[in-house]
């Protein structure tokens, strides 16, 4: 009786780090985190208020002031979660987080597959996104759905890399329909298309479905849509304004509210600076002064947003992470460390109930405040250095 042939160690390791295995492990980790944070607090509470408005008051979420500053795709997930909670006894928090957890796990598997398509012999860790603390904190504990939009954006860039332009445009449209930030990548994507007609077609396919999605709400109440969707400018919890707010709070002994009018002039300045820097990056890539592929361009503009736009919410910190994992960025670990410290301090201090029950805080308010303060400042420094490094390498390649 012959023995079964031994499986080489390299093949066993590769099987355990296959896209399916990584996605499954990521799903388990995120599901456990979601179960540990089954509470209707912070943004999950806002989701429930929007859902109640849609089910009980009006189909138009933009008539509920300061509750829904996103395009109109995700609102139906919120309404569906509330319907399940009412009629099937399902936990609202778990129901509304379930698609986020699933999308984030799929994104972990997609990044492994895409990295191996780019380089079959890549030595980059297959687990870098699956076990990334910022992804777990934002998706599973916080419940923000940026992972769903990031999955769509990653699919769009992968299809662009494979020269499936229509699929890429429709995937980008899905990302923009969920959250607006993938539109930042669109001008850079157009640089990698062959000719004006292809660029026009791509733009129409990426923007047209979003316009059609918003059309009924514009016809119903254009003022409400404009107020809620286009007037929202972010919250200065992170970014350079967030760092100023944190340090000012320590210096004066009290923390100014995130929506305080005093931040508006700085917010206006940060918008102008970011748009100028994003435009400069686009020109540099278009003229070949910086040599980036599409995915590096996406990373570059998202890093520019993190550095120059001052009013960042917690979930924005996740945006560059998938592309950093894909590209094997050297700043991935320093960014993860600083962002994790800042997020933990922020959640304990300003979003109680996200990590642990509000009456059982993970840290004392004083310790949480210092973590948020130091983490936010360190995060901005790390991100600025990271962006400078990405630009430098792009210029060297040119």
Domain residue ranges in the chain: 8-230, 233-398
* Greater model confidence, 135 or 3: 135
279: helix, coil or strand? helix
- Mind listing the pLDDT tens digit for each residue in 8-20? 555 555 667 899 9
Mean predicted confidence (pLDDT) in 274-301: 97
Phi, psi for residue 95 in degrees, rounded to 5: -65, -40
- Mind listing the pLDDT tens digit for each residue in 228-249? 998 877 788 899 988 888 777 7
Q: Which of 60, 56, 58 is nearest to 216 (CA)?
A: 60
For residue 62, the model assigns a pLDDT of 96
Mean pLDDT of the chain: 92
Residue 253 pLDDT class (50, 70, 90 cuts): low
Q: Do residues 55 and 69 lie in contact, with contact meaning Cβ atoms separated by under 8 Å?
A: no
Mean predicted confidence (pLDDT) in 54-77: 95
The answer, yes or no, to whether residue 319 has pLDDT greater than 90, is: yes
312: helix, coil or strand? strand
- Mind listing the pLDDT tens digit for each residue in 155-210? 999 999 999 999 999 999 999 999 999 999 999 999 999 999 999 999 999 999 99
Q: Which residues contact 23 (CB under 8 A, 6 or more apart)?
A: 105, 106, 108, 109, 110, 130
Q: Which residues contact 13 (CB under 8 A, 6 or more apart)?
A: none
Radius of gyration of the chain (CA): 21
For residue 247, the model assigns a pLDDT of 76
d(CA 348, CA 361): 7
d(CA 112, CA 90): 33
d(CA 315, CA 140): 11
**Hey, which bits of 40-140 come out as E strands?**
none
Q: In the chain, what percentage of residues exceed pLDDT 90? A: 81
Q: Do residues 320 and 351 lie in contact, with contact meaning Cβ atoms separated by under 8 Å?
A: no
Q: Which residues contact 163 (CB under 8 A, 6 or more apart)?
A: none
| Other beta carbons within 10 Å of 167 | 16
Residue with tokens 């999308």: 103
Kindly tell me the burial class for residue 266, based on how many C-beta atoms sit within 10 Å of its own C-beta (0-12, 13-18, 19 or more).
middle
Q: Which residues contact 35 (CB under 8 A, 6 or more apart)?
A: 94
For residue 235, the model assigns a pLDDT of 83
d(CA 267, CA 249): 18
The answer, yes or no, to whether residue 36 has pLDDT greater than 90, is: yes
Mean predicted confidence (pLDDT) in 328-342: 96
């Amino acid at each position: 009786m012959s023995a079964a042939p031994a499986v080489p160690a390299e093949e066993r390791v590769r099987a355990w780090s296959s896209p399916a295995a990584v996605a499954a492990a990521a799903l388990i980790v995120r599901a456990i985190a979601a179960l540990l944070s089954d509470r209707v607090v912070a943004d999950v509470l806002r989701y429930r208020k929007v859902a109640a408005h849609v089910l009980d008051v009006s189909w138009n979420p933009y008539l509920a002031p300061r509750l829904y500053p996103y395009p109109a795709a995700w609102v139906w997930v919120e309404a569906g979660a509330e319907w399940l909670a009412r009629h099937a006894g399902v936990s609202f928090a778990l129901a509304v987080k379930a698609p986020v957890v699933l999308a984030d796990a799929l994104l972990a598997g997609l990044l492994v597959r895409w990295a191996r398509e780019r380089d079959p012999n890549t030595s980059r860790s297959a687990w870098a996104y699956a076990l990334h603390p910022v992804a777990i904190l934002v998706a599973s504990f916080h419940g923000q759905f940026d992972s769903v939009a990031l999955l769509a954006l990653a699919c769009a860039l992968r299809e662009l890399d494979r020269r499936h332009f229509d699929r890429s445009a429709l995937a980008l449209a899905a990302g923009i329909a969920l959250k607006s930030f993938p539109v930042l990548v669109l001008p850079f994507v157009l640089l990698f298309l062959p000719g004006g007609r292809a660029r026009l077609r791509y733009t129409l396919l990426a923007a047209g479905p979003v316009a059609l999605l918003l059309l009924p709400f514009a016809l119903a109440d254009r003022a409400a849509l404009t107020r809620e969707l286009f007037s929202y400018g972010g919250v200065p919890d992170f970014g350079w304004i967030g760092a100023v707010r944190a340090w000012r709070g320590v210096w004066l002994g009290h923390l100014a509210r995130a929506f305080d009018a005093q931040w508006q002039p700085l917010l206006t300045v940060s918008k102008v600076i970011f748009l100028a820097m994003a435009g400069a990056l686009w020109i540099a890539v278009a003229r070949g002064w910086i040599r980036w592929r599409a995915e590096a361009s996406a990373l570059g503009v998202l890093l520019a947003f993190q550095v120059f736009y001052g009013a960042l919410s917690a979930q924005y910190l996740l945006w560059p992470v998938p592309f950093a994992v894909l590209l094997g960025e050297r700043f991935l670990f320093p960014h993860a460390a600083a962002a994790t410290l800042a997020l933990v301090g922020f959640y304990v201090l300003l979003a109680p109930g996200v990590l642990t029950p509000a009456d059982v805080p993970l840290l004392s308010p004083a310790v949480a405040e210092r973590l948020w303060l130091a983490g936010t400042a360190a995060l901005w420094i790390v991100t600025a250095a990271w962006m400078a490094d990405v630009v430098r390498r792009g210029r060297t390649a040119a």
